[in-house]
């Protein structure tokens, strides 16, 4: 009957509850809101933490993160063996300090990853004072469809 509803960058959930004495029939509808994909996060405090994914075949054009960063987040792309891909190292990554559900990651100002499509890669994410909710590889065409 009630479920999760996506509204922009939030998820809304409707519930109802008795507001009066048991059996009085006095019911109210409530709405809770949370950030998109905000059910769980990977958190880093004042000490730097790192996440490294298992190898996967890359598809897409850009990497987008859903995160809150009061410190700093950087992302590296690694080859299947775990070695950094030149131009996409942690040092090349432009520091991320934001609160966004779809922050596009850039390396030296460039976000285009099309030349890596079809390659087996790993992600390495380095975080300090940050929460990572999700990451997604997207195409410009898919992003445009979501906006409409």
Report the pLDDT value the prediction gives residue 26, as an integer from 0 to 100: 78
Domains of the chain with CATH codes: 4-35 (no CATH), 42-147 (2.60.40)
More reliable by pLDDT, 122 or 27: 122
C-alpha to C-alpha distance for 117 and 140, rounded to whole angstroms: 14
**Residue 142 predicted with pLDDT over 60:** no
The pLDDT mean for the chain works out to 87
C-alpha to C-alpha distance for 42 and 130, rounded to whole angstroms: 8
Give mean pLDDT, residues 13-24. Answer: 77
**Residue 147: band (very low, low, confident or very high) from pLDDT cuts 50, 70, 90:** very low
Report the pLDDT value the prediction gives residue 144, as an integer from 0 to 100: 42
**Residue 70: band (very low, low, confident or very high) from pLDDT cuts 50, 70, 90:** very high
Per-residue pLDDT tens digits for 81-91: 999 999 999 99
Tokens in use for 21? 């004495």
Report the pLDDT value the prediction gives residue 1, as an integer from 0 to 100: 52
C-alpha to C-alpha distance for 79 and 31, rounded to whole angstroms: 44
Q: Which of 95, 92, 97 is nearest to 67 (CA)?
A: 97
Which element (helix H / strand E) includes 147? Answer: helix 140-147
pTM of the model: 0.79
């Amino acid at each position: 009957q009630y479920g999760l509803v996506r509204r922009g960058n939030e998820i809304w959930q409707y519930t109802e509850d008795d507001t009066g004495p048991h059996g009085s029939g006095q019911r109210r509808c409530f709405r809770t809101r949370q950030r998109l994909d905000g059910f769980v996060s990977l958190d880093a405090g004042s000490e730097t933490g790192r996440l490294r994914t298992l190898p996967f075949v890359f598809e897409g054009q850009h990497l987008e993160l859903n995160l809150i960063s009061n410190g700093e987040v950087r992302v590296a792309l690694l080859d299947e063996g775990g070695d950094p891909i030149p131009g996409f190292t942690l040092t090349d990554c432009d520091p991320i300090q934001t609160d966004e559900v779809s922050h596009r990651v850039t390396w030296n100002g460039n976000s285009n990853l099309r030349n890596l499509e079809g390659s087996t890669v790993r992600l390495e994410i380095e975080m300090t004072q940050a929460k990572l909710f999700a990451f997604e590889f997207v195409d410009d065409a898919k992003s445009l469809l979501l906006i409409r």
